[in-house]
């Protein structure tokens, strides 16, 4: 699939702008604070239905306006589709696909497949477990709407359980019922995460070898308390830990504690990897993410690369450019000097919320 064009009206620092994309590399060049990341954010919003920069939708509305509109056309399976997003200053958001209003976010996700990569992505390798969980969950959700729904249902139960654990009097019978319900979700979520991580690893092994001239082997281990447990065993485990939940006034066990460990040549890269090895591992993970989505969904995802070229050395930049030249990517940068001998590229200059070729 690929994006054809995007109209932004009163979105962040854009008043009224139209971008026609090429089915290749779309490079946005500009100084700091001109509106490069805002374009990435707009595409992300169209694809996922919410921003990754804010939980308050209305923050994306231009300071001088009270509504903003995004309008994106894309080609998927040879037919053209359209998504419109309208947000107003009462924080109301409408998502409209081909003139039909989308009722639930879960109906929308996966419609436009994306892989994002920014300097913050390095947190996947060296940040807290939640960053790695989000990385895995984002892929799982794009692969399966049912996964997203399972995850949402689980999180609802967790929220309720945590709220009840804060009370002075605990209704244990009700806790057992909640644990039983959560066990159901846990078994399914863990199974899907495990399969997805296996798929990522499968692709990553090859990519890491190519990136490092066979010098480095990557391994990814899924860490979870529930790996080999069936529904009954999960329920028993949760119930056995209820007294600690009560003492701590919060759920201590659950898939909200899962993690992945990333190894390069048998060493945990978060603990022992050099800066370069961490960046290489991340690039490998992102390209593996791309490959998994492409293969499973039988569609090519769109690569959103925000300001990462300055983070990579010339070997890795060349590897990446070679890799992505067949696909559509949206790349932002302050310095376009890495571009030479690249075909199929469109370069747009970003200056204070306006674009020019």
Footprint of ligand ATP (CB under 6 A):
12-13, 30, 32-38, 59-63, 307, 334
**DSSP for residue 338:** G
Strand partners, 30: none
Strand partners, 219: 263
- By CB under 5 A, the count of residues binding Mg ion is 2
Print burial letters for 224-238: b (CB count within 10 Å at least 16), e (below 16).
bbbeebeeeebbebb
Q: Which of ligand ATP, Mg ion, none sits in contact with 340, Cβ below 5 to 8 A by type?
A: none
| CB 29, min distance to Mg ion, A | 12
Residue with smaller CB distance to ligand ATP, 119 or 232: 119
Are the C-beta atoms of residues 81 and 32 closer than 8 Å to each other? no
Q: Which of Mg ion, ligand ATP, none sits in contact with 183, Cβ below 5 to 8 A by type?
A: none
Residue with smaller CB distance to ligand ATP, 72 or 281: 72
Residue with smaller CB distance to ligand ATP, 56 or 231: 56
Are the C-beta atoms of residues 284 and 217 closer than 8 Å to each other? no
- Helix pair angle (172-211, 145-165), 10° resolution: 130
87: tokens are 């947000």
| CB 334, min distance to Mg ion, A | 9
DSSP three-state, residue 75: strand
Residue with smaller CB distance to Mg ion, 117 or 185: 117
User: Kind and range of the H or E element at 340?
Assistant: none
| CB 171, min distance to ligand ATP, A | 45
79: tokens are 């037919």
Position with the least CB separation from Mg ion: 37
333 lies in the site for Mg ion, by CB under 5 A: no
Q: Which of ligand ATP, Mg ion, none sits in contact with 13, Cβ below 5 to 8 A by type?
A: ligand ATP
Residue with smaller CB distance to ligand ATP, 28 or 185: 28
37 lies in the site for Mg ion, by CB under 5 A: yes
Q: Which of Mg ion, ligand ATP, none sits in contact with 268, Cβ below 5 to 8 A by type?
A: none
Region of 30-38, 216-224, 240-248, 255-263 interacting with Mg ion (CB under 5 A) = 30-38
| CB 127, min distance to ligand ATP, A | 19
Residue with smaller CB distance to ligand ATP, 9 or 193: 9
Residues in the chain: 357
Residue with smaller CB distance to ligand ATP, 60 or 207: 60
| CB 121, min distance to Mg ion, A | 13
| CB 16, min distance to ligand ATP, A | 13
| CB 301, min distance to ligand ATP, A | 22
Q: Other CB atoms closer than 10 Å to residue 197's CB: what's the count?
A: 21
Longest Cα–Cα distance in the chain: 69
State the sign of the Cα–Cα–Cα–Cα dihedral 246, 249, 255, 258: negative
Q: Other CB atoms closer than 10 Å to residue 248's CB: what's the count?
A: 11
Residue with smaller CB distance to ligand ATP, 63 or 77: 63
Are the C-beta atoms of residues 329 and 1 closer than 8 Å to each other? no
Closest CA to 266 of 204, 216, 196, 200: 216
Kindly list the residues in this chain that would bind Mg ion in the complex (CB under 5 A). 36-37
């Amino acid at each position: 699939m690929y994006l054809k064009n995007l109209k932004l009206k009163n979105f962040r620092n854009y008043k009224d702008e139209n971008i026609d994309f090429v089915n290749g590399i779309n490079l946005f060049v500009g100084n700091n604070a001109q509106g490069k990341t805002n374009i990435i954010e707009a595409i992300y919003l169209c694809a996922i239905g919410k921003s990754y920069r804010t939980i308050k939708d209305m923050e994306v509305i231009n300071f001088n306006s009270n509504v903003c509109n995004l309008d994106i056309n894309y080609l998927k399976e040879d037919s053209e589709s359209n998504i419109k997003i309208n947000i107003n200053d009462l924080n109301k958001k409408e998502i409209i696909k081909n003139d039909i209003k989308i009722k639930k976010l879960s109906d929308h996700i996966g419609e436009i497949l994306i892989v994002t990569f920014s300097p913050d992505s390095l947190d996947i390798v060296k940040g807290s477990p939640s960053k790695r969980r989000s990385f895995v969950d984002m892929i799982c959700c794009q692969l399966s709407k049912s996964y997203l729904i399972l995850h949402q249902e689980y999180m609802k139960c967790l929220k309720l359980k945590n709220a009840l654990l804060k009370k002075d009097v605990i209704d244990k019978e009700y806790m057992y019922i909640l644990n039983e319900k959560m066990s159901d979700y846990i078994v399914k979520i863990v199974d899907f995460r495990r399969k997805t991580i296996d798929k990522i690893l499968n692709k990553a092994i090859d990519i890491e070898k190519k990136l490092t001239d066979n010098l480095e082997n990557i391994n990814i281990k899924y860490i979870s308390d529930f790996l080999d447990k069936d529904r009954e065993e999960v329920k028993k485990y949760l119930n056995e830990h209820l007294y600690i939940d009560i003492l701590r006034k919060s759920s201590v066990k659950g898939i909200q504690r899962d993690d992945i460990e990333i190894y390069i040549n048998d060493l945990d890269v978060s603990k022992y990897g050099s800066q370069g090895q961490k960046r290489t591992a991340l690039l490998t993970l992102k390209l593996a993410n791309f490959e998994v989505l492409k293969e499973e969904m039988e569609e090519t995802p769109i690569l959103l690369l925000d300001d990462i070229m300055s983070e990579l050395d010339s070997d890795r930049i060349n590897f990446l450019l070679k890799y992505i030249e067949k696909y559509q990517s949206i790349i932002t940068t302050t310095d376009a000097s890495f571009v030479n001998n690249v075909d199929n590229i469109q370069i747009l200059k970003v200056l204070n919320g306006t674009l020019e070729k």
